[in-house]
Amino acid sequence: MIEGSPTRKRVSLGVTYSLLVLGVMIVTVPFWYMVATSLKPQAFVFEIPPRLWPSPATIGNYIEALTKESFSLYFLNSLIVASVATALTVGVSAMMAYAFARLEFPGKEVVFYSLLLGMMIPPVMLIIPQFIVAKNLNLLNSLTGLIVVYISMNLSVQTFLLRGFFEGIPRSLEEAALIDGAGRWTIFRRVALPLVRPGLAVVAIFTFLYAWDEFPWANVAIKETSKRTLPIGIALFQSAHLTEWGQVFAASIVAIVPVIIVFAVFQRYFIRGDVSSGMKG
């Protein structure tokens, strides 16, 4: 790494690459196998020896999954839920974070601590009372019921993250606007928000992926077929059609595509978000 003869250096670099590539193979083989299976006709799914390269290959599973099995509806539901939950989480948590970072009010720390409590609660343990609350508010079996819970579950961590971002911007910019007679809301919207855009991006990405992935709450809150999101749709399809793995994986791949797009476009934010807030995917 630092010292050593050129040959030794080359050997150690070779070892590094081999180990990294080996690791990548272990990481990607399951994905590869999923793609291969999604392209196999049903009769070939369990063939021995299993092929990592489908032959014959077909896109029949994709057509079947997207037309007959209403996965496109689940996809749409997931897209609506994840987008709305993301937009609202960004807005609501930015407002809270700004208040904590810049405004003085009685009981500030008490409120902030209660909010932090939300970061330490295992999410699944809230499902029982959330179910009862949602039932009383008529939010079961509705996308709104998913959205409000997803926002709430993300508020703690995202507000905490954004408070740091808001505190990082120099006060002088806001003070100049204050002297010019701008109100707090205007300052928040026009001065502060644009300056924390990287933070907002991190919040948006994590909330979107969370909402796209979320299974436990949707699983108890949604019983109506037409309101299912993708994780529920895929899991239930699999338990109803135990052998039709080709279709299960075709639907899964369709569900992964948005995740990969988001990740590829924003990967530098991912790393920053992880490190600054310690969230786990």
Partner 1 sequence: MRSISFSAEASDTGPVLGTRGAQGRSRSSSRSTSKKRRRVPPKQRLKQLKQGSIAAAFLLPGIVLFTTFVLGPLLFSFRISFYDWNIIKSENSIWVGLENYARALGDPIFRRAVLNTAAYTLVTVPAQIVLGLAVAVLLNQAIRGKSVFRVLYYLPVITPWVIVSLIFEFIFLGQGGLANYFLRDILHVTDQNIRWLADPILTFVPIFLLGIWKGVGWTAIIALAGLQAIPREFHEASAVDGASAWARFRHITLPLMRPTLVFLTVVLTIGGFNAYISNLLITNGGDPLDKTHFILTLMYDASFTKLDFGYGAAISYLLMFFVLLMSIVQIQLLRRRVEL
Of 81-120, binders to partner 1 (CB under 8 A) are: 92-93, 95-96, 98-99, 103-106, 108-109, 111-120
Distance between CA atoms of residues 231 and 126, nearest Å: 19
- Which residue's CB is nearer to partner 1, number 26 or number 56? 26
Q: At what angle do helices 197-213 and 245-277 cross, to 10 degrees?
A: 150
Verify binding: residue 275, partner 1, rule CB under 8 A.
Answer: yes
Among 80, 178, 195, 270, interactor with partner 1 by CB under 8 A? 270
Verify binding: residue 209, partner 1, rule CB under 8 A.
Answer: yes
Name which of 46, 68, 45 is nearest 58 in CA terms. 45
Verify binding: residue 20, partner 1, rule CB under 8 A.
Answer: yes
**Could you tell me the smallest distance in angstroms from the CB atom of residue 125 to partner 1?**
3
Verify binding: residue 31, partner 1, rule CB under 8 A.
Answer: yes
Verify binding: residue 30, partner 1, rule CB under 8 A.
Answer: yes
Amino acid in position 203: V
Verify binding: residue 76, partner 1, rule CB under 8 A.
Answer: no
Among 65, 82, 146, 149, interactor with partner 1 by CB under 8 A? 149
**Phi-psi map region of 93: left, alpha, beta (phi>0 left; psi -120 to 50 alpha):** alpha
Verify binding: residue 121, partner 1, rule CB under 8 A.
Answer: yes
Verify binding: residue 3, partner 1, rule CB under 8 A.
Answer: yes
213-242 binders of partner 1 (CB under 8 A) = 213, 215-216, 220, 230-231, 234-235, 238-239
DSSP code per residue over 174-224: HHHHHHTT--HHHIIIIIIHHHTHHHHHHHHHHHHHHHHH--HHHHHH--S
SS3 165: helix
Which x/- pattern, by CB under 8 A, does the window 237-266 give for partner 1? -xx-----x--xx--x--xx--xx--xx--
Verify binding: residue 198, partner 1, rule CB under 8 A.
Answer: no
Verify binding: residue 44, partner 1, rule CB under 8 A.
Answer: no
Name which of 52, 6, 11 is nearest 33 in CA terms. 52
**Could you tell me the smallest distance in angstroms from the CB atom of residue 73 to partner 1?**
17
For the four alpha carbons of 179, 183, 189 and 192, in that order, the dihedral sign comes to positive
Verify binding: residue 155, partner 1, rule CB under 8 A.
Answer: yes
Helix, strand, coil percentages in the chain from 3-state DSSP, rounded to 5: 80, 0, 20
Distance between CA atoms of residues 159 and 166, nearest Å: 10
Contact (Cβ atoms closer than 8 angstroms) between residue 169 and residue 192: yes
Contact (Cβ atoms closer than 8 angstroms) between residue 146 and residue 228: no
Among 143, 146, 153, 200, interactor with partner 1 by CB under 8 A? 153
**Could you tell me the smallest distance in angstroms from the CB atom of residue 171 to partner 1?**
8
Binding-residue total with partner 1 (CB under 8 A): 106
